[in-house]
Amino acid sequence: MDFTFTEEQQAAVEAAKAVFSGVAPDSVPSPALTPGAVADDFDRTLWRQLAESDLLSLLIAPEHGGAGLDPIALLLVLRESAKVLARIPLLEDSSAAFTVQRYATEELRAEVLPQTARGDLVVTVAASGRTGHEPAELAVEARQEGADWILDGTQTAVPWAGTADRILLPAHAPDGHAVLALVSRTHPGIALDDQVSTSGERLSEVRLDSVRIGAREMITDPAAWESLRHVLTTGTCALALGLGERVLAMTSDYTGTREQFGFPVATFQAVAVQTADRFIDLRAMEATLWQAAWRITTGAPGALPPAGDVAVAKIWAAEGVRRVVQTAQHLHGGFGADTDYPLHRYHAWAKQLELSLGPAAAHEEALGDLLAAHPLS
């Protein structure tokens, strides 16, 4: 395997750094001090800047106005976005576009992808299920009625659903396999109830009551939902990595200038050991992320199916980002608990990412099942 990034991927990173350099995480109110969500909408100004820099079209084919890159380019940009806590649906919108491009009809691709590439159409994804603790595809039932499909069910904690133009959501067909539906948030039969994430961002519970949509808005390829889920998962791991890297940098800067007994606290053995441990966490998060991304992007064979590498990446991301922010708060002392200091928002975002990834124990169980089904020689 070769984890050397291509010139195109590196160019995307440089463009992302230029755009995100103007984002200030401490300019957003603290979720602990703000009733409800910190804002009603995502950062539209930043979204337009990303569109002008061609960062919304990374995974879209050139014939639809995109760069035609692979998901690794998206993960690199997401990593940079998390360092400044960018309030944008980049993960959801790009993952949806990638899925539409690979699995939708040409008619739907021609309608959705050019608008998405320009930033004129925003698509989010429902991936949490009815309660957040069950397979998302089981939360909605999809059945055919003539040439149309009828959708019934509820998806919870859908990010940016209140302001996105469309929602890509999984459902289960009568034969048991997963399908995807691309629906407008204002479609008859769809109701949204406001929710607020741990990070203070606006979510929605999306309820579907006999929602009728045409076959052209449905993606019925059984591989589509698994592919979308893998991109969403590795994207969340990339967000956790970028956030963790920024938090460790903040911690190093602080402990390098904060003095006790006439010496920077960074020179104390206990502090040095803790920051070294967190550096190891980040390197493990990075290595497992790129291994998983490489497997799902190239389809390269391995000892286990790609889901095994994805599970390992989720374990390290969920556990690692939590340890990084907890150590950062501890080493910052009183500043670590100050809700006016940016570290507080990083902690809230880290907790939301950890919750989105799910508990490490569940991924370990899934990994164990894979090992039982595919014994290592």
* pLDDT of 203: 96
**CATH number of the domain within which 175 lies:** 2.40.110.10
Angle at 39 between CA 33 and CA 44, to 5 degrees: 145
Considering the domain architecture, whether residues 76 and 215 belong to the same structural domain is answered as: no
111 in a structural domain? yes
Give Cα separations from 120 to 48, 50, 113, 126 (angstroms). Answer: 9, 12, 10, 20
Considering the domain architecture, whether residues 171 and 90 belong to the same structural domain is answered as: no
* pLDDT of 26: 79
String of DSSP letters for 71-130: HHHHHHHHHHHHHTT--S-HHHHHHHHHHHHHHS-HHHHHHHHHHHHHTSS-EEE--STT
Provide CB contacts within 8 A for 155, sequence distance 6+. 126, 128, 129, 130, 136, 139, 140, 169, 205, 206, 208
Binned average pLDDT, 10 residues per bin, the chain of 377 residues: 85 97 86 81 97 97 95 98 97 98 96 97 95 88 96 97 97 95 97 94 96 96 96 98 96 78 74 90 97 91 88 96 94 81 92 92 87 82
The residue from 202, 219, 236 where one domain ends is: 219
268 in a structural domain? yes
* pLDDT of 270: 81
* pLDDT of 349: 95
Buried b (16+ CB within 10 A) or exposed e, 287-326: ebbbbbbbbbbeeeeeebebbbbbbbbbbbbbbbbbbbbb
Predicted structure pTM score: 0.95
25 in a structural domain? yes
**CATH number of the domain within which 49 lies:** 1.10.540.10
Considering the domain architecture, whether residues 157 and 273 belong to the same structural domain is answered as: no
**CATH number of the domain within which 266 lies:** 1.20.140.10
The residue from 203, 219, 235 where one domain ends is: 219
Report d(CA 278, CA 93) in Å as an integer: 31
